[in-house]
Structure 1
Amino acid sequence: MNENGKLSGAAKASYGLGAVGKDMVYMLSASYILYYFQDILGVSAAAMGVILMVARVFDAFNDPIMGAVVAKTKTRFGKFRPWLLIGTLTNAVVLIMMFSAPPALSGSGLVAYAAITYILWGVTYTMMDIPYWSMIPAFTEGGKEREGLTTLARSCAGVGSALITIVTVMAVSALGHMFGGEGIADREIERIGFSYFTIIVAALFVIFTVICCLNVKEKSTAHMETPSIGEMFKALIQNDQAMAVVVSIVIVNCSIYITSNLVIYFFKYDFGGEGWRGAYTLFSTFGGGIQILAMMILYPFLRRFFTSIRIYFISMGMAIAGYISLLILASTSMSSVYALFVPGFFIFAANGMLAVITTVFLANTVDYGELKNNRRDESVIFSMQTFVVKLASGVSAFIAALSLQVLALSNDTAETASAIDYSLGVSVMQKMGLRMTMTVVPIIGLVFAIFWFKHKYILTDEKIEEIERQIENRKKKVA
């Protein structure tokens, strides 16, 4: 705080830096854990699918428990910062362990190692993620200052995710060659590269969090609301509009996450070529930029002309068009990554706008619930957003892993044909199966979400205004 009681620039920057670090480790785990254990180490895709789904669902249910623990914590350093630091340190250690599996392990031992480290990673990440976001009211004055800091932190989180998306594949390859020596197999280079790259990311994560804890001072009077799982589902059952939005979020996110889980396999085994890493990095950089621009510029621009509901359907249509064009392009002999920018634009832009729109829809269901149930379940409803995103992440990872198992797609089936161009060892049927899973399955999910939302969600702009008037009139009568 400065002399005026306002949040200082150093505190804002430090808090944003914490978001960069924590989303770097989250993106590293979310995007590459399946690839690391299944493709590099040879763990069964089916086994990894079960591990990822069970761990993510468990993690989703673990959030309210951790929230309750943090809320009851009392130390001279506050209730949030101790858990933020403890969670970061333990998560960094587990992250390094997770991406540094002992080479001697194989079979059931490797499966057990993957399961234990991934579950521990999820638990320790929750230990720091819950207090990080919950501490905002503990050092802000509310209003514009709080909204501005939240926006800053979300933007910084996006930067952290983008950094990992852009640099991981190339950095892993460079570090693997640097520390692995000459004459070793490509998968061994990747294994070594991931180990060293993870150490670097974990170190930055700890440094950024320490800076955050040192420069952000929380107030001892801060109150933290921690809804239980029971309260979440009670709020959903009693609020049909919240249920409509939550189901839509699960289906949409699950559809998009399936593609994000498989895109690295597409570039390695289908798009192929010696330069597949560079093509993947270029595509990911373009997509990440489009997604951020869609959130910050495209959605506000379209909102000037259309309602949020209309933009929702526009976004869904864009995503479906993107998937159709991706399937068509992938089925041709195209070899330029720039051609993939066309479907990439539609899919990533739609994803960015949908992230904003679903948050707006959830906010609308809070007002609806207040009118219907005479109770404002704001914290409960928004806690559901994290819960359902993690649920969708687990389900999509299971579907992606199951498709890899059915297609028998891994290093083992490809490197025998060529250690440089892995696509040479993959059959046409395997490639077509991968393309269909990446495009047709998400299209089916998105079409279902469109029909579900159209028939279930009724909170138009006019309806929201009417609800706000009714709530205001009710309050005047009570007063």
Structure 2
Amino acid sequence: MTSAAASDNYGYHKAKIWQIGFFALNNTTTNMYLFALAFVSYYATGIAGLTVVAISTILTFMRVFDGITDPVIGFIIDKTESKFGKFRPLMIIGNIILASSLLIMYNVTHLLPEASQMLFFIAIYAVYIIGYTFQTACTKAAQTALTNDPKQRPLFAVFDGVFNTVLFAGGQVFVASYLVAKHGGFTMGMFTELNTYVIVLGLIFTGMAVAGIWAKDRKEFFGLADLNVKTGFRDYWPILKGNRPLQMLIIAASSDKLTLSVLRHAVVMVMLFGILLGDYELSGTISMIIIIPTLVITFAGVAYARKRDLKKSFIASTWIGLAAFGILIALLFAIDPTTISLDNLGFATIAFIVLYTLGMGFGSLPSALVIPMIADVSDYETYKSGRYVPGMIGTLFSFVDKMISSLAPALVGFAVALIGYKDTFPEIGSALTASMYGMTILLAFGVPVLGWIISLIAMKFYYLDSEKMAGIQKSIGDVKEKAENERLRVARQPVEQMDKSGDSLNPIPSSK
């Protein structure tokens, strides 16, 4: 068996640890842009002048557009073959589009006449989505080429979990405790400084991710290599219809994505910490406090996944997150939430921090595990049908995932409109009414609990455990080995072959 094809009897090809870590930064880059755009509602309503309902509706429909672009870009990925590889060119193109569109969106929209602001915002947001989809689709698709060793694939979740914990927790600290205080709220200066950091770090991280996938972005690591079955755009529906693990993973992961999108929405964070608890800076402080416990949870969850399998770790972490937030809901209805303060380290504060840490840590872990699980699903499709279509699999996943998670901005927008915030979003220090109290708890913790219940139901029908994946990789490895042996056999045939008339079919030029 060739070194490119396998490293053992199961047909595994491994990556270096640094390659996995560097490539995980591709997902960190797109998540940085996702984090920055979480505050776009305050820019659009506070600076550009759009209404709450208008911006919530726009963001929802643009998320739908985001999903629609996924299958097209997935098809492009699968058809891309260049001397620079399949994934690297599209990662770079995607990042350039992201940086350019973010700059234009925040520096031009509010300067335009009011009548054209909405159309321009929609247009530039659409361009941003195309760049985002190019780069994020490569994160999912390239997993199959990076490594197919079931002991290695969960390692991506370690790096991804660590990077995203630092990003979202550290980012919230940076915005809440530094940028908002420095610039006096969600002002133009705040957005400019935040976006500068995002663009610069995004370029650096993308370069490191390109370096990480560089040695594996070659055809011999793509499924069955030269044995690929030809696939057309019309094959999207048969693939989705015939791949049960893909269906179940989509349901589980998209419900998780919706819950985290709602919980991490900038408006919900303001409602929870700035209004319900009465201290918005506390959001940054608690985010910093939970970084270490969340990292420990990530390491423990991935270690469990490597020992057992990704599915078991996914289910266990979801159960713990669900239980923690369920108890937290009961706690917040039983106490005065304004007593939760680091200046008052009583039962309420300690219980909130512990339950919030468990909920965020274990509830976020499945999102990191999903990416290597998509690679398992892609390998299952190769095993089942002979097709190597990681772009299709990844973007089919993203398409449905985004259709569901697109509900997040609309859900938040219409929820706050129901309690009276039709023209502006709730702001730090807004009155804590009974309706605000209930709506905050529902959005912050009730939605995650419901989403995790759906996720657990879907996982009951996802059957790609460690035993199944070992058989799949062995089967793929056997096919590649057989093809390689056949290629070598043909290569050993006499160079000169004769047809029936005795003429040479492969004449050897005579020397003069």
Shift of residue 173, structure 1, vs aligned partner: 1.9
The alignment status of 1:259 with 2:259, answered yes or no, reads no
CA distance in 2, matches of 1:26, 1:413: 20
Distance 1:161-1:378 versus aligned 2 partners, 3 A rule: farther
Shift of residue 25, structure 1, vs aligned partner: 2.4
CA distance in 1, matches of 2:360, 2:32: 19
Q: Is the 8 A contact 1:28 1:164 kept in 2?
A: no
Q: Is the 8 A contact 1:319 1:346 kept in 2?
A: yes
CA distance in 1, matches of 2:382, 2:45: 47
- 1:201 paired residue among 182, 198, 201: 198
Q: Percent of aligned pairs with the same residue? A: 18
Between Structure 1 and Structure 2, which shows a larger proportion of helix residues? Answer: 1
- 2:282 paired residue among 279, 302, 317: 279
Shift of residue 394, structure 1, vs aligned partner: 1.3
- Matched to 1:51, the amino acid is I
The match for 2:363 is 351
Q: Is the 8 A contact 1:64 1:227 kept in 2?
A: no
Partner secondary structure for residue 406 of structure 2: helix
CA distance in 2, matches of 1:468, 1:11: 21
Q: Larger deviation: 388-397 or 376-385?
A: 376-385
- 1:166 paired residue among 155, 169, 173: 173
- For residues 31-46 of structure 1, what are the structure 2 equivalents within 5 Å? 31-38=38-45, 43-46=50-53
Q: Is the 8 A contact 2:251 2:401 kept in 1?
A: no
The alignment status of 1:428 with 2:425, answered yes or no, reads no
Distance 1:359-1:74 versus aligned 2 partners, 3 A rule: closer
The alignment status of 1:321 with 2:326, answered yes or no, reads no
The alignment status of 1:437 with 2:439, answered yes or no, reads no
The match for 1:418 is none
- Matched positions, count: 451
Distance 1:42-1:321 versus aligned 2 partners, 3 A rule: farther
CA distance in 2, matches of 1:150, 1:214: 15
The match for 1:27 is 35
Shift of residue 245, structure 1, vs aligned partner: 2.8
The alignment status of 1:250 with 2:254, answered yes or no, reads yes
Deviations along 1:54-76, whole A, 9 cap, x unmatched? 22232233234234445666777
CA distance in 1, matches of 2:18, 2:215: 14
Shift of residue 263, structure 1, vs aligned partner: 3.5
Shift of residue 387, structure 1, vs aligned partner: 3.6
Q: Is the 8 A contact 1:20 1:156 kept in 2?
A: no
Q: Is the 8 A contact 2:20 2:155 kept in 1?
A: yes
Greater relative contact order (Cα < 8 A, sep 6+): 2
Shift of residue 465, structure 1, vs aligned partner: 7.8
- Matched to 2:69, the amino acid is N
Q: Is the 8 A contact 1:244 1:453 kept in 2?
A: yes
- For residues 48-127 of structure 1, what are the structure 2 equivalents within 5 Å? 48-69=55-76, 80-100=87-107, 102-103=109-110, 109-127=116-134
CA distance in 1, matches of 2:217, 2:274: 54
Deviations along 1:303-333, whole A, 9 cap, x unmatched? 86x8766655543332332333332343332
Shift of residue 95, structure 1, vs aligned partner: 1.1
Distance 1:8-1:341 versus aligned 2 partners, 3 A rule: closer
Q: Is the 8 A contact 2:305 2:312 kept in 1?
A: no
Q: Is the 8 A contact 2:150 2:466 kept in 1?
A: no
The alignment status of 1:300 with 2:303, answered yes or no, reads yes
Deviations along 1:286-310, whole A, 9 cap, x unmatched? 4554444323214534886x87666
CA distance in 2, matches of 1:20, 1:441: 25
Deviations along 1:109-129, whole A, 9 cap, x unmatched? 443343223222111223444
Shift of residue 247, structure 1, vs aligned partner: 1.8
Shift of residue 279, structure 1, vs aligned partner: 0.7
- For residues 378-397 of structure 1, what are the structure 2 equivalents within 5 Å? 379=390, 380-397=392-409
Q: What is the root-mean-square deviation in Å for CA atoms of aligned residues? A: 4.8
- Give ranges in structure 2 of 5+ residues lacking alignment: 1-13, 224-229, 342-348, 486-512
- Matched to 1:200, the amino acid is Y
Distance 1:330-1:270 versus aligned 2 partners, 3 A rule: farther
The match for 1:270 is 275
Q: Is the 8 A contact 1:85 1:128 kept in 2?
A: yes
Deviations along 1:95-151, whole A, 9 cap, x unmatched? 12333465456866443343223222111223444456767888x798699969956
- Matched to 1:43, the amino acid is L
Distance 1:7-1:475 versus aligned 2 partners, 3 A rule: closer
Shift of residue 193, structure 1, vs aligned partner: 1.0
The match for 1:3 is none
- Matched to 2:241, the amino acid is I
CA distance in 1, matches of 2:466, 2:387: 19
Q: Larger deviation: 204-213 or 438-447?
A: 204-213
CA distance in 2, matches of 1:279, 1:95: 28
Shift of residue 440, structure 1, vs aligned partner: 2.8
Partner secondary structure for residue 422 of structure 1: coil
Q: Is the 8 A contact 2:48 2:109 kept in 1?
A: no
Shift of residue 346, structure 1, vs aligned partner: 2.7
- Matched to 1:256, the amino acid is L
- Matched to 2:359, the amino acid is I
Shift of residue 353, structure 1, vs aligned partner: 3.5
- Matched to 2:355, the amino acid is P
- Matched to 2:411, the amino acid is I
Larger Rg: 2
- Matched to 1:194, the amino acid is F
- Matched to 2:238, the amino acid is K
Partner secondary structure for residue 440 of structure 2: helix
TM-score by length of 1: 0.73
The match for 1:233 is 237
- Matched to 1:403, the amino acid is A
Partner secondary structure for residue 337 of structure 2: coil
CA distance in 2, matches of 1:267, 1:460: 38
CA distance in 2, matches of 1:65, 1:236: 15
Shift of residue 93, structure 1, vs aligned partner: 2.2
TM-score by length of 2: 0.69
Distance 1:401-1:68 versus aligned 2 partners, 3 A rule: same
Shift of residue 422, structure 1, vs aligned partner: 1.3
Q: Larger deviation: 287-296 or 69-78?
A: 69-78
The match for 2:489 is none
Distance 1:65-1:364 versus aligned 2 partners, 3 A rule: closer
